[in-house]
Amino acid sequence: MPKIFVTRKIPEAGINKLHDAGFEVEMNPVDKVLSKEELLHYLKDGEYDAVLSLLTDKIDADVLKGAGQKCKIFANYAVGFDNVDLIEAKKIGIMITNTPGVVSNTVAEHTFALMLAIAHRVSEGDRFSRAGKYHGWEPMMLLGTDLSGKTLGVIGLGHIGSRVAYYGKKGFDMNVIYYDIKRNNEFEKEIGAIFSETPEDVLKKSDFVSIHVPLMDSTKHLINADRLKMMKRDAYLVNTSRGPIIDEKALADALRNKIIRGAAIDVFEHEPAIEPELMKLENVILTPHIASATEEARDKMAVLAAENIIAALEGKRPPNLVE
């Protein structure tokens, strides 16, 4: 009976799917991230046919080799796969899959939760109320910004970015511009989005910038001090992709010096650490990498990861093979 190792507790829906397919499932018995040594310890007898891994597991050459000859697939329980050494996996012949599509609405909703919260000063207002500072309605108290009629700049028009653009247009009547390495004429027509030739152009023209690119060498620090300066002084930056895409120290400087008006981020450069300078600021919202953390999305991710494993072990091409 094929054996699967799951690196941390995930929703039952995925585990049940693996059991239904007739697989034996073993799970990290403690609900915490395994260190590389611990992960290698579990894998070292080479008894697993597949591993279901998380974005917090570093799947490098040692771990891929450590999984042994039998292991055909690492199914990453995430949209992102920057935690996996793809080149090494290819060399060894281990398939890597991710869980795209099923979380797009959820992450787009969280992106708007952040965008609305920073523009309408929701977190700041909540802190204000709890601190006992609310002494009566005032015409000029905690004034924020409308989304409607503003320009939303989307950098990276994949599954998630295009959902964000769609909600921006259809939900909040925003003007949408976008940058992507691939232009999407059909999408432009569908929602009246305008293509920018460069990310810089999006930064210069947008009132709200939302980042939806994968983390790669070419996107690390895509948002740095120079690019933050290109943004409008009253613009907001939102990031639900990966932390290292933004130079976090530069962002803290820009927010402190009012180079931009605000930011709302769900991901951090050195997770789980958060730049201490950001924590001191009122004009930033910090959520702990929860953009896909709804019951619905996490169930779907678990099922999709299981489906990828089942396909691979049945000798089929997994639906979400990363190449």
Catalytic residues: 242, 271, 289
304 half-sphere exposure, CB direction, 13 A CA radius? 21
Q: Comparing C-alpha atoms, which of 99, 128, 145 is closest to residue 264?
A: 145
Of the pair 17, 298, the CB lying nearest ligand GLV is at 298
Least distance from ligand GLV to the Cβ atom of residue 51, Å: 17
Binding stretches for ligand GLV (CB under 6 A): 55, 78-80, 103, 292
Of the pair 28, 83, the CB lying nearest ligand GLV is at 83
Q: Comparing C-alpha atoms, which of 229, 258, 262, 263 is closest to residue 243?
A: 263
Compute the distance between CA of residue 146 and CA of residue 312 in angstroms, rounded to an integer.
48
Pairing status of strand 236-239 against strand 262-265? parallel
Compute the distance between CA of residue 236 and CA of residue 119 in angstroms, rounded to an integer.
8
Q: Comparing C-alpha atoms, which of 222, 232, 237 is closest to residue 180?
A: 222
Query: For residue 85, what are the contacts with CB-CB under 8 A and spacing of at least 6?
Result: 59, 60, 61, 64
Least distance from ligand GLV to the Cβ atom of residue 212, Å: 11
| Adjacent-strand bridge partners of 9 | none
Of the pair 196, 240, the CB lying nearest ligand GLV is at 240
Of the pair 179, 268, the CB lying nearest ligand GLV is at 268
Of the pair 209, 304, the CB lying nearest ligand GLV is at 304
Compute the distance between CA of residue 307 and CA of residue 260 in angstroms, rounded to an integer.
43
What the block records as the tokens of 128 is 């204000």
Q: What SS3 state is found at 284? A: strand
Of the pair 80, 144, the CB lying nearest ligand GLV is at 80
Least distance from ligand GLV to the Cβ atom of residue 139, Å: 9
Least distance from ligand GLV to the Cβ atom of residue 211, Å: 13
Contact 34, 54 (CB under 8 A): no
Contact 306, 314 (CB under 8 A): no
Of the pair 67, 79, the CB lying nearest ligand GLV is at 79
Query: What's the gap between Cα 188 and its chain centre?
Result: 24
Query: What's the gap between Cα 145 and its chain centre?
Result: 25
Compute the distance between CA of residue 192 and CA of residue 294 in angstroms, rounded to an integer.
30
Query: For residue 33, what are the contacts with CB-CB under 8 A and spacing of at least 6?
Result: 8, 54, 56, 57
